[in-house]
Amino acid sequence: MNKLAKKIDSAKSKWEKLNDNREPIVYIGAASCGRAAGALDLKEGVKTFLEENKKSARIIEVGCIGPCYLEPLVDIKMPGQPRVSYNNVNAKMLGMILKSHFIDGAPHKKLAAGHFGTDDFDGIPRFFDLPMLKPQVRIVLRNCGFIDPEEIDQYLAVDGYQGFMKALKSTPEDVIAVVRQAGLRGRGGAGFPTFRKWTVCRESPGEQKYLICNADEGDPGAFMNRSLIESDPHAVLEGMLIAGYAIGASKGIVYIRAEYPLAIDRLKRAIGQMREYGLLGKNILGSDFSFEIKIKEGAGAFVCGEETALIGSIEGKRGMPKSRPPFPAISGLFQSPTIINNVETLGTLPNILRNGPDWYNRFGKEGNRGTKTFSLVGKIRRPGLIEVQLGTTLREIIFDIGGGVQKPFKAIQTGGPSGGCLSEEFLDLTVDYESLASAGSIMGSGGLIVMDEDTCIVDLAKYFLDFTQKESCGKCVPCRVGTRHILEILQKISNGEGTPDDLLALRTLGDTIKKGALCGLGQTAPNPVLTTLRYFRNEYLEHIRDHKCRATVCKSLIEYRVIKEKCTGCQSCVRVCPTGAITGPRSEPHNLDASKCIKCRSCYEICRYEAIAGDAIVIRTAERQS
Amino acid sequence: MPEQIQKVLGKHGRSPDELIPILQDVQAVFGYIGEDSVKVISRYLRISENQIYGVSSFYAQFRFTEPGRHGIKVCLGTACHVRGGSTLLDSLEHGLGIHCGETTEDKRFDVDRVACLGCCALSPVVQIDRDIYSRMTVNKLTELLKNYE
């Protein structure tokens, strides 16, 4: 314990020195999404600027604060000034910002998004007062964007591993009691009380027990777990120590998607640091508790998010679910008692242990305590990673935090492919496990996809069923055959060949699959179809009766046309058309041969944004010959 | 080839749960899982080749044909789909004259779909080799491919 106490002391003084503002600091948001937006080029730009101007500063790569729509973010903290954040930075802006700070000695007020100080600073708003951030409560994400995820010292300096040390001082039973009092429910989707699962595992006989961190974030449209691991890996690993201690496990495994290479790198590095600091291995900090953590990379199968399939995959088999009981808590990995907890559940634990259950009970509502992270994406003004108290309404999330939709709002999908699609009338629904279930959807792991009138509901249902149908492992008939049938019917409707009877067939199939499928994937697969049938029946009917797709998405029901009066004959579309469907001499209205058109949108985009006329190409409901 | 694969195997034990990590390493070295690799793994782990094909074909990550010089992955996550990811894939397939999962004849590109890259707020995204390109359009993608030989 002493050795670590010393390390913590030195980490804290290092942290204070870093923050006492003697040296300028440039923070670059460099999680995967920041990198995709060009963060690493900016980092090089900063280095070049400093060299050319003979200035010195510390450059720190931090994780993701959450407002992805502001990516890439560059923050600058000059001695004696608060940290100022700049958004959507490009090379030109970067030069202006750096010049402003390093040469003129003042922030660039026009470009600044916000600052992180406590008081007013030069008329720049506080970052956390921005409309997207103000309604949020950050518990799990507290360190994201603030500490260097590659430095254990910075995590220690912000009270990292304090929760685990507190846990070590009490008995495992007490730790379970704390989690029970906190009312923590599994954040992977189902919302099962964490303490109950733990108790079963703790009481199961067995020499060897396992703790698995489920980081197989397979829901398309969800990236909360990736962001958390990339921005604050130690929080998740500390949670694993706490959980491992509580259930009596000596081996921990992080099962993570191979599609997240940066997250895997950061975990590996963090695990190495833990070992170096005596936080892994035999008799951790002089206690009886021994623990090791290994990383297993998933190989790309959505069904492996299901507990028993995940276990199969770790054992080197096809990831196919098994019927339960026996539950993994009694007989799981290699037939030993095994607990599988989601990344976010584990990331929450250090906070609960450190601050106590009463503190945690202040957030959320009765039966749904605490906060939940969501990835808010789709047709929304301010997409990003958010964290809100359970019990917040969808309206607050979409309009206050997300800034609303550019075109009229149509629907929101919660819970990914296993969830449901909710219409406008549900905007005042509170986000908690029970309310979402009562509307036919689920909380799921936390993907929120917002759709506007340009999204076709039939196409969306088809998309999700295409996904679940492909990802179905094929073990049980309802899921394997049933999802295939649903998809075929949806395809028919989307082609304009549906009949009214199809809607009844979809309903019956959906209900049967829900009742008959073996695992969570199959049991929830029909949800997108069933909820859209319930709340958007008219759109299905339009496809069937009028052969019309009002969002102009379903390819069989639309056609592209050149508006002769608008077209200036600039040839932009002729150049991009991959099939040669558009022809015409320069300066004369072009012709579009519908028989060659593959509806790829190239001409539409180029006309809209780059061509002289703009909007001379339209997409509209096809005229049918019947 | 035999040396390279022995080197990969040397890093792993012989218990059956090493199969997936071995396959991942083999693919990282060779770009795909070849027939001769399967034979060697089968002897090493003492499990049948059938079993290895059974496991490897279950997971989307593994491929059994030689990849192109550049791997293009079009993200078809929900957010990307809503913002036109499948149109990107369609035009790519059409432009390169191959289907998803195939490699162009000149071995320059292979095209695949991926369920989600987790950059949903920057959708639609396309990954080429290890770089992720955000907010793509059909025309931007066509231009981008010119940078890859």
Q: What is the CATH number of the domain that holds A387?
A: 3.10.20.600
The phi, psi pair for A567, rounded to 5°, reads -65, 130
Alpha-carbon torsion (A328, A333, A339, A344), positive or negative: negative
Contact list in B for residue A385 (CB cut-off 8 A) is: 121
The predicted model gives A117-129 an average pLDDT of 87
Domain that holds residue B76: 70-145
pLDDT, tens digit, 9 for 90 and up, residues A241-288: 999 999 999 999 999 998 898 999 999 999 999 999 999 999 999 999
- Report CB contact under 8 Å: B121, A578: no
Q: Write out pLDDT tens, residues A486-513.
A: 999 999 999 999 999 999 999 999 999 9
Res A624: pLDDT: 67
For residues A122 and A147, which has the higher predicted lDDT (pLDDT)?
A147
CA A66 to chain centre: 10
Q: Give mean pLDDT, residues A171-187.
A: 97
Mean of pLDDT over chain A: 93
Of A316, A317, A377, the CB nearest to B123: A377
Quick: pLDDT tens for A74-112.
Answer: 999 998 889 999 999 999 999 999 999 999 999 999 999
- Taking an 8 Å cut-off on Cβ atoms, the answer to whether A301 and B20 are in contact is no
Q: Based on the domain organization, do A253 and A382 belong to the same domain? A: no
Chain A partners within 8 Å of B119 (Cβ): 32-33, 36, 223
Shared domain check, B122 and B101 = yes
Domain ends where: A413, A436, A452? A452
pLDDT band at A539 (very low <50, low <70, confident <90, very high): very high
Q: Does one domain contain both A288 and A273?
A: yes
- Reply yes or no on whether the pLDDT at A535 is more than 70: yes
d(CA A301, CA B23): 15
In a shared domain, residues A506 and A463: yes
Residue B90 and residue A598: Cβ atoms within 8 Å?
Answer: yes
Domain membership of residue B85 (yes or no) is yes
Q: Looking at the structure, do residues B53 and B74 belong to the same domain, yes or no? A: no
pLDDT(A527) > 60 = yes
Do residues B17 and B50 both lie within one domain? yes
Structure tokens at B76: 């078809």
Rounded to 10 degrees, what is the CA torsion of B88, B94, B98, B102?
10
Cβ neighbourhood burial of A129 (10 Å; 0-12, 13-18, 19+): exposed
The answer on A498 and A594 residing in a single domain is no
- Do A78 and A186 belong together in one domain? no
DSSP percent split of chain A into helix, strand, coil, nearest 5: 45, 15, 40
Same domain flag for B20 and B87: no
A586-624 pLDDT, tens digit per residue, is 888 999 998 888 887 888 878 887 776 667 888 888 876
In a domain, B76, yes or no: yes
Helices B138-145, A602-609: axis angle to 10 degrees equals 100
CB proximity under 8 Å: A 550-589 to B: 576, 578-579
State whether B122 and A467 contact (CB < 8 Å).
no
> Between B20, B82, B91, which is nearest A379 by CB?
B82
Instruction: Tell me the shortest Cα–Cα distance from B104 to chain A, in angstroms.
Output: 17
Query: What is the rounded distance in angstroms from the CA atom of residue A453 to the CA atom of residue A552?
Result: 10
What single DSSP character describes residue A327?
A: P
Domain shared by B81 and B139, yes or no: yes
Q: Are residues B87 and B136 in the same domain?
A: yes
Check residue A460 and give its pLDDT: 93
Please check whether residue B65 lies inside any domain of the structure: no
* Domain-located, residue B33: yes
B43-82 per-position pLDDT tens digit: 999 999 999 999 999 998 899 988 999 999 999 888 888 7
Locus of tokens 């870093």: A18
Mean pLDDT, residues A536-552 taken together? 94
**Domain final residue, candidates A436, A452, A468:** A452
With CA atoms as reference, report the closest residue to A479 among A514, A455, A452, A508.
Answer: A514
Nearest-by-Cβ selection for A413 from B61, B78, B118: B78
CATH, residue A42: 3.40.30.10
The mean pLDDT of A558-577, rounded to a whole number, is 88
The answer to whether A321 touches A327, Cβ cutoff 8 Å, is no
Instruction: Please write the tens of the pLDDT for every residue from A370-425.
Output: 999 999 988 899 999 999 999 999 999 999 999 999 899 999 999 988 899 999 99
Residue A483's pLDDT is 97
Asked whether residue B64 is domain-assigned, the answer is no
- Same domain for B75 and B120, yes or no, is yes
ipTM over 0.85: yes
Model confidence at A331: pLDDT above 80: yes
For chain B, the C-alpha Rg in angstroms (whole number) is 17
Q: Is residue B63 part of a domain?
A: no
Domain boundary among the residues A528, A546, A564 is at A546
> Are B132 and B84 members of one domain?
yes
Whether residues B116 and A259 touch (CB distance < 8 A) is answered with yes
In a domain, A141, yes or no: no
User: H-helix or E-strand containing A17?
Assistant: helix A2-19
Could you tell me the end-to-end alpha-carbon distance of chain B, in angstroms, rounded to an integer?
26
**Full residue range of the structural domain in which residue A616 is found:** 555-621
Tracing tokens 């600044």 back to the chain, one arrives at A112
| Same domain? A509 vs A603 | no
Model pLDDT, residue B138: 83
Contact B133, B126 (CB under 8 A): yes
CATH number at residue B36: 1.10.10
Backbone angles phi, psi at A451, to 5 degrees: -125, 145
Residues of A in contact with B138 (CB under 8 A): 576, 600-602, 605
Please indicate, yes or no, if residue A488 is contained in any of the structural domains: yes
Listed in sequence order, the residues at least 6 apart from A505 whose beta carbon sits closer than 8 Å to its beta carbon are A489
**Mean pLDDT calculated for residue range A210-220:** 92
Q: How distant is the alpha carbon of residue A121 from its chain centre? A: 33
Q: Is A198 a domain residue? A: yes
**Is residue A626 pLDDT above 60, yes or no?**
no
A549's tokens: 């797709």
Task: Find out whether A454 and A558 touch, Cβ atoms under 8 Å.
Answer: no
Q: Which residue has the tokens 């027990």?
A: A209
Check residue A125 and report its DSSP letter.
Answer: P
Q: Are residues A184 and A292 in the same domain?
A: yes
Residues of chain B with pLDDT under 50: none
Residue A505's CATH number: 1.20.1440.230
**Coil, strand or helix at A398:** helix
CATH number for the domain spanning A296: value is 3.40.50.11540
Q: Where are the alpha helices (DSSP H) in A306-414?
A: 307-314, 343-355, 357-361, 394-395
Residues above pLDDT 90, as percent of chain B:
58
Residues B54 and B77 in one domain: no
Residue A142 covered by a domain: no
Query: For position B70, what pLDDT does the model report?
Result: 94
Q: Judge whether B117 lies within some domain.
A: yes
Q: How many domains does chain B have?
A: 2
Q: Do A36 and B20 touch (CB under 8 A)?
A: no
A109–chain B Cβ distance below 8 A for any pair:
no
Are A449 and B60 in contact (CB < 8 Å)?
A: no
Same domain (yes/no): B16, B78: no
Lowest mean pLDDT among A42-46, A74-78, A122-126, A159-163: A122-126
Angle between helices A343-355 and A172-182 (to 10 degrees): 100
Residue A138 maps to a domain: no
Q: What is the CATH number of the domain that holds A568?
A: 3.30.70.20
Q: How far apart are CA A491 and CA A480, in angstroms?
A: 17
Which one of B14, B15, B48, B82 makes the best mutation probe of the A interface by having the most chain A beta carbons within 10 Å?
A: B82
Residues A105 and A208 in one domain: no
Tally Cβ neighbours within 10 Å of residue A18: 18
A514 and A617 belong to one structural domain:
no
What tens digit of pLDDT does each residue of A36-73 get? 888 999 999 999 999 999 999 999 999 988 898 898 99
Residues A343 and A490 grouped into a single domain:
no
Give the per-residue pLDDT at A613.
Answer: 66
Q: Please measure the distance between the N-terminal and C-terminal CA atoms of chain A and give it in whole angstroms.
A: 82
Same domain, B74 and B139: yes
Query: Do B53 and B113 belong to one domain?
Result: no
| Residues A28, A99 within the same domain | yes
The DSSP line for B30-85 is: HSS--HHHHHHHHHHHT--HHHHHHHHHHSTT--SS---SEEEEEE-SHHHHHTTH
Task: Give residue A1's pLDDT.
Answer: 56
Residues A173 and A58 in one domain: no
Quote the number of domains for chain A.
5
Model pLDDT, residue B21? 96
Separation of CA A610 from chain center: 33
Residue B18 lies in a domain: yes
The pLDDT score that the predictor gives to residue B1 is: 67
* Rounded (to 5) percent helix, strand, coil in chain B: 50, 15, 40
CB spacing of B24 vs A258 below 8 angstroms: yes
Select the residue from A216, A317, A521 to test the B interface by mutation, using most B Cβ atoms within 10 A: A317
Is the pLDDT at A313 greater than 60? The verdict is yes
Q: Is residue A50 part of a domain?
A: yes
